[in-house]
Amino acid sequence: MALTVTQLNKQLKAELKNIYLFYGEEQFLHKTYVDKLKNMVLEGPLAEFNYTVFDGKAADFDAFTAELNTYPQMADRKLLVLRETPFLTAADYQKVMQKILADIPPYAVVVFVEPDIKKVKKDLLKLIDAKGASADFAKQSAADLRSWVNRTFSAYGKRMKIEDMERLIGICDRSLTRLKTECEKLAAAAGDSEVIAGRLIDELVQIPLEFKIYAMSDKLLAKDADGAYTMLREFKIAKEQPTVIISLIYSHVAGLYMFSWLNADAERFLPPNRRFLASKYSRDCRRYSGDKFREIMKLCAEYDDGIKGGKIDGWTALELVMSGFFAKSNRSFC
């Protein structure tokens, strides 16, 4: 059974096993826990000689078995890390790997890094769970990420409002790797202030265009015309392409339209890295009817064609699309 990050931390404190399998898409956690095992396993003047990495499809199986069966140099243990090698996933290696995993030398700690658990052969997975431990490094939930950001800022003697933390997490697309960099930057920029102001996010964190356009869509949905048109002016100054903006507005509204129709089953149809938005989408869907969403989608499609056909200026078309959020519909609102 796969361990969570919290369970893995407890397991490492209690006992160091000979086999570990780390899987899932959160690359930051893969690196963090490989580094943690390096600190736990490697010691002595020849530490680096007891650490070997086998990487990708080109990894040499004979070199792996030779290294595994060689005693560590001037130390009690050695660490072998196998990143996305075919040894756990290819049928050609299954029988020999069963023998190896069943009788790992006591001095060896072997770590397999496999982003996709589905590729690992089931019999080998059972052996790993019996002899070692596996950990699922899936994308962290919004609550987990808030806790992580809060702990990170606390280590610097800083804190941030919950709404600002949530915005920072969204901007960073829930990537721990990027969050680490941005948290360090924001903590340093806050200076002597205990509270990291939300304005520092706008000043220091590079916000992807997609996130900015979705934020503008949110303002339009909330009927915040001033806020939406302020962002429009910023897009003009930055020389963004109106067709790109219209396309992303269409994508956002189409997602809401789909969500409004799927109701209880909606969350499972969202991409894995967007499922944390389910509650927000649910709130947004209550602002307009499905008919209104279709009207806006139709406006986006018509004006996109008009721009590409040279019938209308891009910025004029974008303003007309935006006005569609405020226009009264012949159909009823929710």
The CATH architecture that domain 5-136 belongs to is 3-Layer(aba) Sandwich (3.40)
Give Cα 265 distance to the centre of its chain.
Answer: 22
Q: Can you list the residues of the chain whose pLDDT is less than 50?
A: 330-334
Which H, E and C letters describe the chain, residue by residue?
Answer: CCECHHHHHHHHHHCCCCEEEEECCCHHHHHHHHHHHHHHHCCCCCHHHHEEEEECCCCCHHHHHHHHCCCCCCCCCEEEEEECCCCCCCHHHHHHHHHHHHCCCCCEEEEEEECCHHHCCHHHHHHHHHHCEEEECCCCCHHHHHHHHHHHHHHCCCECCHHHHHHHHHHCCCCHHHHHHHHHHHHHHCCCCCECCCHHHHHHCCCCHHHHHHHHHHHHHCCCHHHHHHHHHHHHHCCCCHHHHHHHHHHHHHHHHHHHHHHHHHHHHCCHHHHHHHHHHHHHHCCCCHHHHHHHHHHHHHHHHHHHCCCCCHHHHHHHHHHCCCCCCCCCCC
pLDDT for residue 262: 72
CA-nearest of 27, 26, 31, 32 to 138 is: 26
Distance CA 182, CA 167 (A): 12
Give Cα 195 distance to the centre of its chain.
Answer: 26
pLDDT for residue 270: 63
Domain with CATH 3.40.50.300 in the chain: 5-136
pTM of the model: 0.64
Residue pair 98/104 in contact by the 8 Å Cβ criterion: no
CA-nearest of 176, 250, 245, 254 to 212 is: 245
pLDDT for residue 330: 42
Domain with CATH 1.10.8.60 in the chain: 142-204
Domain with CATH 1.20.272.10 in the chain: 209-323
CATH number for 142-204 (one of 3.40.50.720, 2.40.40.20, 3.90.550.10, 1.10.8.60): it is 1.10.8.60
pLDDT for residue 279: 65
CATH number for 209-323 (one of 3.90.79.10, 2.40.50.140, 3.40.720.10, 1.20.272.10): it is 1.20.272.10
Distance CA 316, CA 275 (A): 34
pLDDT in tens, 249-292: 998 888 888 777 776 565 666 655 555 566 667 777 777 778 88
pLDDT for residue 319: 93
